A and B are shown apart, each in its own frame.
Chain A
Amino acid sequence: MHGRIHPCLTISLAAALLAGCASDSSDGTDNKVTLSIGVFGVFGYKQAGLYDEYEKLNPHVKIKENSTERNEDYYPALLQHLSAGSGLDDIQAVEVSNINELATIQAAKFVDMAKAEGVEESSYLPWKWEQAKAEDGRVIGVGTDIGPMGVCYRKDLFAKAGLPTERAEVGTMWRGDWEKYVDAGETYMKNAPKGTSFMDGAAGLYNGSISSYAEKNYNADGELIYRKSKAVKASWELAMRAIEGKMTARLKQFDTAWDQAYANGTFATVVCPSWMLGYIKEKSGKKGENQWDVAPAPKPANWGGSFLTVPESGKNKDEAVKLAAWLTAPRQQAKLFSAQASFPSSAAALELPEVKGAKHGYFGNAPIGEIFSSAAKGIPTAILGPKDQIIGQNISDVGILQVEQQGKSPEAGWKAAVKKINDAVDE
C-alpha cells in the first residue's frame, strides 16, 4: 500500500513466488460466490476485520485475498495476467505510481467504476479521483488510501541545535516553501549535535518537493517534459543544495543503513507520509519514543496510496464492483485508518471523528488526523504519466545518489540520470 515497499526481503521473494502460483479456484458449492482480491504488501482489510464483516452482511459471498509482498513483483505479474486475460483476481489493487500507466494503455480491460453502483464520485478527494481517469473519461479504479506528507522531526536534536521544538512553531518555520526547510537545515548544521545530520537523504527532499507540484514529468498534453520541467529543476536544485551543505546523512531510503540510522537517531528530520509513521515507530523503537514529533510539510504533497480495480474479464464482476465500492466507502476507510493507519482517500471519511481527532502517542500525541487531513485537502491534482515511477526512481537512485554518495558533480549526476531514463523509456 505504500509508495515503495522496499527490499527488506528475506522471505518476501519466496512469498511472492508462492502468491503468484496460488490458484484461484472458485468453489461452486452451495451457491456461494468466491471473490478473490489481489493485493501487495499489507492492505489491512483482513486485519481490520472488513472481510468478515462483509461476509456477514452478504452471506452468499466468500472473500479470498491473494497477497504479494512487493509491488515490484505484483505489478509485472498483473500486467502479464491482463494481457493473457487469465489468472486475474476479481478485484486487483493498483499502486498510484502504476495507475496512470494502466489508464493509458489498458483502460478497456477494467470496469468503469464511475458508472458502478454504490460508487459516488463526491465521496472521494477530487485529485485522487482524477488519477484513475482514462482519456475517454472512464475511471478504472476507486481510491483506497493516500499518503499526505508531513515532516517528522526529532525534538531532542532540534533543541540541541537551537531550533524550535513545538510542532506549530516548527511548521510555521518552513511553511509555504521547501526552500525554507533547507534554510532550517542550514541553521541546524551550524549547531548540529555531533554525528547527526538534518535529514536522512536528499532523495526524500526531492520526492517531497516534486510531489507538491501539479506538473512534474509530463505536461497536460501527455508530453514528456521532465528535462525542462520547473518542478524537476527546482526540486533537483534543492536536493543539490542540501548535499552541498552537507546536511544529509547520505542514506538511501528503505536500506538497512536507513533503518539502523533510525535506531541510532543520526538524522533530525525525514519527509514522512502518513503511512511512514508506523515504520518510524518500529525502527526507532523505545529509544525514540517521545523524541519524534510530526509537523506539517512546507507544502501539501502526496506519496503513495492505492486503488481497487475490477478487471472486465472477471466472472463475478457485479459482485466484485459491489465489494470494491463497499471496501472504499467512507465508513470502511475510517475503520481501516483506526486499525491500520492507512489514511483515507475519501473526503467524507476525513470528517469522521475517529479520523479527524486521531492522535499518535509515539509522536508526542501529535494530532495526525488534523495535520494529514489538512494536507490531503491541499494536495494538487497532479498530472501523471506512464513513466513517472521510472523517471523518479532513476533521478533518485542514480542521479542524486551519484552526487550524494559518490561525490560526483551535480552536472555529472544529472547527465547519468537522463541517460538512464532515456534508455528506460526508449521503446
Chain B
Amino acid sequence: MTSERLDTAPTAPPQGAVPLPPLRPGPAAGREQRRAARRSRRYQRDARWSPYALIAPFFVFFAAFGLFPLLYTGWASLHRVSLHTPTRMEWAGLHNYTRLLEDEFFWNALRNTFTIGLISTVPQLLMALGLAHLLNYRLHGSMFFRVAMLTPYATSVAAATLVFAMLYGRDFGMINWALGLVGIDSIDWESGTWTSQAAVSTIVIWRWTGYNALIYLAAMQAVPDDLYESAALDGASRWQQFIHVTIPSLRPTILFTVVVSTIGATQLFGEPLLFGGSQTGGASHQYQTLGLYLYEQGWFNYHLGRAAAIAWSMFLILIVIGLLYWLVARRLRKSH
C-alpha cells in the first residue's frame, strides 16, 4: 500500500460507504454528505500520516541505538575518559585526534586496514563476477550451487577463522604440509607481514565471495535477453558478451558491492582477532586493523576517549571514501 494510491482514494467513496440517495433531497441527505466528507477528510489525514507512524519504530530505534551512540562516541572522543570511570569525563578538546596523528600504531593499523581491504575486496569481487556469470548459464542443479555459494556467508566468523588458523598453522598446518610435499619449506604465516595479511584476506574472500556473486547473479538476470541475442547475432563471443553487455548493465550493482565491501573492509575485526587469537594483531602488529586497534585501546588499555576518537576517524574516513566513490560514479555516468 503506497500513500500515493491512498491519496487518490477519497475521490471515490471508500468501499462500504452508503450510496447517496439521489431522489429525495433533504436534511438526511445533507447529513449523509457531511458525514461522507468528514470521513473522507479523516481518511485523507490517515492516509497522509499513518505511513509515518508505521515507519516510526525504525527511527525511534535508530535514534536510541544508532544515532545516540554515534553522538555519544563523538562527545567521548573529545574527553579524557577511562573505562575505569566511564562517567568521569575530562574535557580534552581535540587532544585525542591530534594524538592519533602522531600515533605510529594508528598509522600502522590504517595501512594494514587499507592493504588487507584491497587484497581481499578486489579478488573477491572479480571472482564473484566470474562465478555469477557461470551460474547465469542454464545448468543442472543451479539451485544447489546457489545455496552452496551462500554457505560460507552463513558460517560464523569464529568457526571459519578457527579452521583457517589451523590451515595456516606453522608446525601442523595443512597448507605447510602440502607445501612440504612439493619440497617447499614451511612458512610461518602469522609472523610475516604479507603472509599474515594474505591469510586474513583469504578468510574474508572465502566468506563474502558467494554473497556478492548472488547479488551479481540477481542483477544479471534482470538484463534483457534480447541484448544477448542481438549481440550473439552480431557474432559476439561469450566473453565479448560478458565484457560488452553484462558488465555495463551491472555497473550500478558493482558500485553498490564496492561500497558495501569497502565499509566491511574498513571495519574488519573478527577475522584478524581470531586469526592470531589476540588484540595485538601479531607480535609487531603486522595485521592489526583499525577495528582491532580500537578494541585494544578501549578494552585492554581502557582508554575510552582514544578508542572513541579512532571510531570517529573510521567514520570520517568512510565518508571521504564515500564522496570519492560518488565523484567517480558521477564521472562515469557523464562519460557514458
Contact = CB atoms under 8 A, between A and B. Distances in A.
Contacts of B156: 10
Given A390-B300, A402-B283, A257 B84 contact: no
B86 interface: yes
A169 interface: no
Nearest to A416: B284
Contact of B299 (A11, A76, A249): A76
Interface size class of B (residues with CB under 8 A): 35 or more
B312 interface: no
Interface in B253-307: 273-274, 277-278, 280, 283-285, 299-303
B46 interface: no
A106 interface: yes
A256 B162 contact: yes
Contacts of B302: 76, 79
Nearest to B301: A424
Interface in A241-277: 249-250, 252, 254-257, 260-261, 264, 266
Contacts of B165: 256
A390 B169 contact: no
B84 A406 contact: no
Given A7-B278, A260-B169, A405-B191, A79 B283 contact: no
Contacts of B98: none
Contact of B84 (A106, A398, A420, A423): A106
A397 B85 CA distance: 27
Interface in B147-182: 156, 158-159, 162, 165-166, 169-172
A105 B84 contact: yes
Contact of A79 (B84, B166, B191): B84
B191 A398 contact: no
B2 interface: no
A83 B158 contact: no
A401 B299 contact: no
B20 interface: no
B209 to A, nearest CB: 23
A105 B105 CA distance: 28
B103 interface: yes
Given A79-B83, A83-B85, A254-B277, A264 B299 contact: no
Nearest to B80: A427
Given A84-B87, A260-B172, A255 B277 contact: yes
Given A6-B277, A260-B169, A72 B283 contact: no
Contacts of B246: none
A79 B302 CA distance: 10
Contacts of A80: 83, 86
B188 interface: yes
Contact of B169 (A101, A250, A257, A406): A257
B283 A405 contact: yes
A225 interface: no
B82 interface: yes
Nearest to B82: A427
Interface in B177-211: 188, 190-191
Interface string A374-396: 00000000000000001001000
Nearest to B279: A72
Contact of A13 (B85, B158, B283): B158
B188 A256 contact: no
B280 A264 contact: no
Nearest to A9: B158
A392 to B, nearest CB: 12
Contact of A7 (B82, B169, B274): B274
Nearest to A255: B277
Given A10-B162, A83-B87, A405-B191, A256 B82 contact: no
Contacts of B105: 420, 423
Contacts of B299: 72, 76
Interface of B: 80, 82-88, 103, 105, 156, 158-159, 162, 165-166, 169-172, 188, 190-191, 273-274, 277-278, 280, 283-285, 299-303
User: What are the 9 A-B residue pairs with the smallest beta carbon separation, nearest first?
Assistant: A401-B283, A424-B301, A7-B277, A405-B191, A260-B172, A402-B283, A10-B158, A83-B85, A406-B191
13 contacts: A7-B278, A76-B302, A254-B277, A257-B172, A261-B172, A390-B300, A398-B285, A402-B283, A405-B283, A423-B103, A423-B105, A424-B300, A425-B301
